[in-house]
Structure 1
Amino acid sequence: MMEKAQDLPDAGQASAQDADHGWQSAADEWRRNWRVGLAAFLVIGLSHGAYQSLSSLFVLPLQEAFGWSRGQIAFAHYSSLMVAFAAPFIGRAIDRFGPRRIMLGGMALSILIYLGLASMNGSLALFYLLSVLAGVIGLSASGLTCSRVVSQSFVRSRGVSLAIARSGLALASAALPTILFAIIARYGWRAGYMTEALLVLVVALPAAWFWIGRSRTPANVQHRHMDADLPTWLHLLRERRVWLLCLGAGLGYAPATAIMTQLQPLLISKGVEAGSAAALVGMAGIASFAGAIITGSLVDRFWAPGIAFLFACGSAIGTCLLAWHGAIEGPMAGLAILLIGFGLGAEIDVVAYMVARYFGIRSFSTIYGMAVFFIAFSGALGASMLGTAFDRHGNYDAALLVIAASFMAAGCVYLMLGRYPQHKD
């Protein structure tokens, strides 16, 4: 299952005899392009990804402020349906025009959306509209852009580089929940949304402005004519592996996203105190960071679908631990969150890596956008299912068992991708 990548005839990895040269090449990539990696790290962690990972902290304050039910609040995650339909087309635009200008414009609009959320007056329609806009515009500062930039700048160390960049979301998920919880508790939920806007304005946007698109990548890695010879939609839709990758991404990433959007109230329903629940949300971020780094290191050496399968099994076990205990103790809750977090981190890294390895860079954002379609569509259903399950049954247990089965199905689908094909990056 987990055969070494260099043993595959088309893996493109350095042979054992060239291992030292491979490490030197990876180090050279980082010396040239560390600014690109750092900018992607900050953009992914502090832009729309932060809104997704922190949204569960707003559930109870919005319920108290406006009298909305958890199901009504969770219904906002159906905005992911609009994100799903927009993702392939935004990805195509990124492949055609380049990620920099789309990224910068999108983040500027995201700041205005956060300020709009902070100004809500109790209208559910406005909340839903802003949620749709946040999701669609947020694609401009997501893996569609950042993973493409990293993948075209790093080749020898692509897995680790993607993991480092995309672990910005994991670290933000670890550091921000406790901070944001304290801000919301003291100053209110409006200050929470304004804090998110400030993070984009002061940190993420300047990093993208100064560092994205300004690397000293060699000419053979730069794709100056990104709109030339792009495969047609029909060609991509005929690719069996495109469908397998998209299906695996939807079945694997969406359950983790659904859990994160309801994690704090879920833990509170299991008997965990509110402050401790916020800390466990942070623990999930730490585990996600560790999972991303470990996975990134492994996929540069071993077959990526096999690695994805193992981490999917861990996520399924962690979800079952949450489902099979009425009231969960501290250590058991910590173990469940760690397993789920590891799986989330693995999923963050491995999907982007497999897009680049199986299909190359030329159509990276288009294919990744197709994967996001499956992720967002199933994520909307999963997040709403969790909130609705609580409203109907008073607990999340049945929905959690469905999520565990989804994790396992994702791992099995990845195994069907087969060997890496030959293509030029």
Structure 2
Amino acid sequence: MADIVTRHPGPVRQRRRIHPAWWVAGAAALAIVAAGAFTTTAGLFVGPLHREFGWSRGSIGFAASVNMVLYGIIAPFAAALMDRFGMRRVVGGALALVAAGALLSTAMTAPWQYVLTWGVLIGLGSGSMALTFAATVTSRWFVRRRGLVAGILTAAGVFGQFVFLPLLSWVVTGRGWRTAAVLLALIAVAVLPPVLVLLRDRPAGSGLRAYGARELDHGPVRVRGTAARTAGVLGTAARTAPFWLLAATFAICGASTNGVMWAHFTPAAHDHGMPATTASSLLALIGVFNVGGTVFSGWLTDRLDPRRLLSAYYALRGVTLLCLPMLMTSTVGPPMVAFVVLFGLLDVATVPPTLALCRELYGSDSPVVFGWVTTAHQLGAGLAALAGGAARDAFGSYDPLWFSVGAVCGAGALLSLLIARRPAAGLPAPHH
């Protein structure tokens, strides 16, 4: 009996719970993947719509340009809407919006209806689930591993852009563009339940601390309307030099990625005799390497000076673009494969350090500030896409485009080093 009384049980092994922040990040990643699937699909519809309806390629392209512009403009307002109404409501509404836009497009008979569905509805919906959404999740739910999570969520968008591209291309070719539109709507609807169940607004609302935080953070008091807050944050940030440097470098990022590669790489390769299907496959391969490069960049951002990372990324990207005209041939050789790998690793790697600098400099307003910086990214992309077409018409070649954008990347490398790493006066301090 004495033995029984004096015997003590061994140590109890406690199971580690997964922090709810990772479930929130997982739900956010699903929504961002779904949004990404919509951003590269419009290019697959150009030929089928031209053949079926006889619409000019200019009128079809106008819908894509409306989509791109609204995608950028909505970003800061979406961040403010998430502050006011919560992430779950805004993202749930955005998923419903893109699903509705895709379904309604199957019944369209005029170009203006394509502008309304794919330009306006899908542009607003997908833009609401873009980089500013990732910025909001990381700033609210993570203190540790912020750079890594920013990289993962950014990579999710890239994954969505390219992973569905071969499937949708096959569907458009074999089953028609309407089937592809319905498939996209079903993807958005399928993502909606986990978003509604797992996505939570702020940790403190559930009595939790952010991942790696030592205390509860209830966030800023909501005292202004969405438009007023968005404009007010812009007005305050615009009085600081770092904002303009961040906007300028991110505009260069947009010009040297979305603006030239998505719009002009395939026709430029075709000018040199490369089949369009082969060039499109190379773009998809760039997207594959985007994922690894962005996640690794997030890991580096947690450990190194983000300004130096940005400088290195822009410098290397500029070198790759300067070399591209010499690599263009009718076949895919080792030099072109090396370009695809390196450019893919660098393509979206600028996002985690840019987001980290916004958070460091602008505190609780950083998602809205990053939204305005993202607007500059889209404007840069649009200008480069326009300039590329003009260069091809004027010179009969895309070579001047690659050389010009490569040189601009050099300027981005220098501008990145000029960004001051201290919160600007009059702005909210970062939360730790």
TM-score after normalising by structure 1: 0.82
Show the 5 A alignment for 1:118-197. Answer: 118-121=106-109, 123-130=110-117, 131-197=119-185
- 1:218 and 2:209 aligned: yes
CA contact (8 A) 2:360 2:422 kept: yes
Cα distance in 2 for partners of 1:190, 1:388 equals 32
SS at 2:431's partner residue?
coil
- 1:271 and 2:273 aligned: yes
CA contact (8 A) 2:79 2:367 kept: yes
| Counterpart residue number, 2:373 | 371
Please state how far the C-alpha of 1:226 moved relative to its aligned partner: 4.5
Closer, same or farther in 2 for the Cα pair 1:191/1:353, shift >3 Å?
Answer: farther
Task: For residues 51-78 of structure 1, give each alpha carbon's deviation from its aligned partner in whole angstroms, at most 9, with x where no partner exists.
Answer: 2234433344444444556555444343
Please state how far the C-alpha of 1:161 moved relative to its aligned partner: 1.0
Closer, same or farther in 2 for the Cα pair 1:112/1:236, shift >3 Å?
Answer: same
Please state how far the C-alpha of 1:169 moved relative to its aligned partner: 1.8
Show the 5 A alignment for 1:307-326. Answer: 307-326=309-328
Closer, same or farther in 2 for the Cα pair 1:296/1:245, shift >3 Å?
Answer: same
Count of aligned residue pairs for this structure pair:
394
| Counterpart residue number, 1:386 | 388
SS at 1:141's partner residue?
coil
Closer, same or farther in 2 for the Cα pair 1:87/1:141, shift >3 Å?
Answer: closer
Cα distance in 2 for partners of 1:119, 1:101 equals 28
Cα distance in 1 for partners of 2:280, 2:258 equals 16
Task: For residues 155-192 of structure 1, give each alpha carbon's deviation from its aligned partner in whole angstroms, at most 9, with x where no partner exists.
Answer: 11100111112211222334222222211221122222
Segments of structure 1 that go 5 or more residues without pairing to the other structure are: 1-27
Closer, same or farther in 2 for the Cα pair 1:332/1:60, shift >3 Å?
Answer: farther
Cα distance in 1 for partners of 2:18, 2:167 equals 31
Task: For residues 220-256 of structure 1, give each alpha carbon's deviation from its aligned partner in whole angstroms, at most 9, with x where no partner exists.
Answer: 4543555259775432221221221122111113431
Show the 5 A alignment for 1:237-256. Answer: 237-256=238-257
CA contact (8 A) 1:78 1:381 kept: no
Of 359, 366, 375, the residue aligned with 1:356 is: 359
Cα distance in 2 for partners of 1:390, 1:182 equals 29
Please state how far the C-alpha of 1:341 moved relative to its aligned partner: 1.9
Of 210, 222, 230, the residue aligned with 1:227 is: 222
Cα distance in 2 for partners of 1:117, 1:409 equals 42
Cα distance in 1 for partners of 2:60, 2:322 equals 25
Please state how far the C-alpha of 1:284 moved relative to its aligned partner: 1.0
| Counterpart residue number, 1:209 | 196
- 1:44 and 2:32 aligned: yes
Partner letter of residue 179 of structure 1?
L
Show the 5 A alignment for 1:296-335. Answer: 296-327=298-329, 329-330=331-332, 331-335=334-338
Closer, same or farther in 2 for the Cα pair 1:400/1:320, shift >3 Å?
Answer: same
Cα distance in 1 for partners of 2:54, 2:268 equals 19
Q: Based on CA coordinates, which of the two structures has the bigger radius of gyration?
A: 2
CA contact (8 A) 1:311 1:346 kept: yes
Closer, same or farther in 2 for the Cα pair 1:168/1:317, shift >3 Å?
Answer: same
Task: For residues 78-97 of structure 1, give each alpha carbon's deviation from its aligned partner in whole angstroms, at most 9, with x where no partner exists.
Answer: 32334444433333333333
Closer, same or farther in 2 for the Cα pair 1:75/1:291, shift >3 Å?
Answer: same
Show the 5 A alignment for 1:278-293. Answer: 278-293=280-295
Cα distance in 2 for partners of 1:29, 1:379 equals 43
- Identity over aligned pairs, percent: 24
- 1:101 and 2:125 aligned: no
CA contact (8 A) 1:157 1:300 kept: yes
Closer, same or farther in 2 for the Cα pair 1:284/1:62, shift >3 Å?
Answer: farther
CA contact (8 A) 1:74 1:387 kept: no
